[in-house]
Amino acid sequence: MKQVVAQGTFDLLHPGHLHYLTDAKSYGDRLDVIVARAENVTHKPKPIVPDRQRLEMVNALDPVDDARLGHLEDFFVPIREIDPDVIVLGHDQHHDEETLSGMLAAEGIDCSVVRASARDPDPESEGELLSTGRIIDRICDRRC
């Protein structure tokens, strides 16, 4: 059985998240997802939705076999526990595949790192939002 890991913040779920996880699942037989804890998110604004709620929503998605919160101090703890064959990065995630591959090798974790495809906006869905930031911007524009 080929084990796949995807990871992310998954704040305000949208079709782009579902595309990412569906694409990630296509790389293997089982998809485990690591949901970032809010306190570990440093590369963008903190999530709006609490950790446990984001975890519950990701766990409910069809492509996901299991989801868990990331470790508070060591990114590699859940990776070691899952022991994946492949880590699939989101198409727009800030991680660099080569850097991450090197870090995994240094930790003695043998798996490949690939990048998921981007989801093209649906031409029939006027104003489709595939970004949490854009969803927040639209809410602020319309309700603030």
Please state which of the ranges 20-34, 43-57, 92-106 shows the lowest mean pLDDT.
Answer: 92-106
Q: Is 92 annotated as a binding residue?
A: yes
Name the pairing type of β-strands 30-35 and 86-89.
unpaired
Q: Is 78 annotated as a binding residue?
A: no
The full set of domains in the chain, from first to last, is 3-143 (3.40.50.620)
Q: Is 17 annotated as a binding residue?
A: yes
pLDDT value at 123 more than 80: no
Confidence of residue 73 (pLDDT cuts 50, 70, 90): very high
User: Does 19 show up as a binding residue in the annotation?
Assistant: no
For residue 133, say whether it is annotated as part of any ligand binding site. Answer: no
pTM recorded for the entire structure:
0.92
**At 11, is the secondary structure helix, strand, or coil?**
coil
* 81-122: pLDDT as tens digits: 999 999 999 988 888 889 999 999 999 999 999 999 998 877
Cβ neighbors of 61 (< 8 A, separation 6 or more) are 13, 17, 18, 21
Flag whether 10 is marked binding: yes
Q: What is the pLDDT of residue 5?
A: 98
What is the distance between the alpha carbons of residues 104 and 28, in angstroms, rounded to a whole number? 19
